[in-house]
Structure 1
Amino acid sequence: MIPSPTRPAPATIALAHVSLRCLIIAATKFIVRNYGVRCR
């Protein structure tokens, strides 16, 4: 899934950006949850 160097697809970039943002949010929630459990 490598975008062509001549013209990158905007849809692919947008999809990757959204999925990356969702992944960061999920990871943050997961870390906060584990950290809270360990703190208590």
Structure 2
Amino acid sequence: MTSRMGFVGYVWAMAALDSANAEAVAKVMASFMMEPLV
């Protein structure tokens, strides 16, 4: 759980630095949120 959240946070930070990919990363974030947190 912690490692997953850490990875998502890292991806989000990269998205913030590269606004051009923000939409694409947002879709990835959505898929992560849709997955069961096991």
**Length-normalised TM-score, structure 2:** 0.49
Whichever structure has more helix as a proportion of its residues is 2
Where relative contact order (Cα < 8 A, 6+ residues apart) is larger, the structure is 2
**Length-normalised TM-score, structure 1:** 0.46
Structure number with greater Rg is 1
